[in-house]
Amino acid sequence: MTLEPHQPIRLTQQVKAGGCASKLPAGSLRQVLSALPAQTSPDLVVGFETSDDAGIFRIGPKQALVQTIDFFTPLVDDPFTFGQIAATNALSDVYAMGGRPLTALAVVCFPQDSDLGILEQIMRGGLSKMSEANCIVVGGHSVRDVEMKFGYAVTGLIDPERVYTNAGAVPGDTLILTKPIGTGVITTALKQGKSEAVWVDHAIRSMTTLNGTASALAIACSGVHAITDITGFGLMGHAREMALGSGVTLEIETAHLPLLDGALSAVRLEAIPGGLLANRDFAECLVQDSVGSQIPDDLRALLYDPQTSGGLLISVARENAPGLLASFQREGVPAAVIGCVSGASTPGAHAPAIILR
């Protein structure tokens, strides 16, 4: 009798949706959070009211905690790589606020009868990225679950007088994005068996690159007014939060958007994650095309693509933007200017939060 060769488990086939595409829709989450009572504390610097990247709590005159949690289902098949992506993504929210990660707690959901060697590799991958970030994993929690999920709760330190939120963009600012977009459609293509290896390789390289360097360069640059990271709600979802939180209108030059190799091809192959459709339902009502613009449908779809471990969207004074961009280029950060902050919005005027060109 000839034994069949052992077939490795494809993690992406064990879950319905992968990575940040598995998050609850932004509209559903906003509906619940808006119904909760307000928290009042003189030491709460940033809470969940503005849908920011992390919470910040003052513990001293010049020191505050920055805290976040992020975990999700597999979006790649290799367990070690999945762990790396989950860790990089969880650290990103601390970097987006301008903080320095210190400790992390692992969050594990794992099928009871699955191979524990897979879980070991996932956790090894995560630990490798936490070590790269000089963030110590001090413990965690696990539960049995039909679908595996992994991530971290991360705690860092930040100066409460130097916090970068998504609500500080100023008219006249330049918008810089530090990573290309397209991870959602590419990993969906992988799950559907439609992707090319080079697409996945480039997406993995992006998703396992820490935002620490980009964050450090941004906070060292004068004139930076707002930062947010682009994750599950897509570029338009997070840009929407920046525009509304800052009371401004963002103008996006769609032809200047950095795209991952294969992202447009994945859209054309109809590798559309459910999160993309949910993001479009949430944000498109506040997005308007400029007069005469002709935006291809495949590129328009990528504007709402849920990103996993995406880049930072930075609003910086126009005069400081060239210097910041040059510093990114020197350090190998694939940043690009994608638009500007055009002006203050008028409350109650139903003006668009985002204009596409």
**Known catalytic residues?**
20
Nearest to 310 by CA among 326, 334, 327: 334
Confirm whether residue 265 is marked as ligand binding: no
Distance between CA 65 and CA 137 in Å, rounded?
17
345 labeled binding residue: no
Neighbours of 211 (CB within 10 A): 26
Q: Tell me if 141 is assigned to a ligand binding site.
A: yes
Q: Is 23 flagged in the annotation as binding?
A: yes
Give, in degrees to the nearest 5, the angle at Cα 250 between 248 and 175.
115
- Report CA-CA distances (Å) from 162 to 171, 219, 251: 20, 9, 26
Backbone angles phi, psi at 190, to 5 degrees: -60, -45
Helices (H), 208-316: 212-219, 234-246, 263-268, 274-283, 297-302
115 marked among binding-site residues: no
Strands (E), 290-335: 312-316
Phi then psi dihedrals of residue 245, to 5 deg? -65, -30
323 has binding-site annotation? no
51 known member of a binding site: yes
Query: Is the distance from CB of 140 to CB of 150 less than 8 angstroms?
Result: no
99 is in an annotated binding site: no
Using the CB atoms, write b or e for 127-159: b if 16+ within 10 Å: bebbeebebebeebeeeeeeebbbbbbbbbebe
Sign of CA pseudo-dihedral 82, 134, 233, 54: positive
Q: Is 142 annotated as a binding residue?
A: yes
Query: Annotated binding residues, as ranges?
Result: 23, 50-53, 70, 93, 140-142, 229
> Binding site residues for ATP, as ranges?
23, 50-52, 70, 93, 140-142
> Which residue numbers belong to the known binding site for Mg(2+)?
53, 93, 229
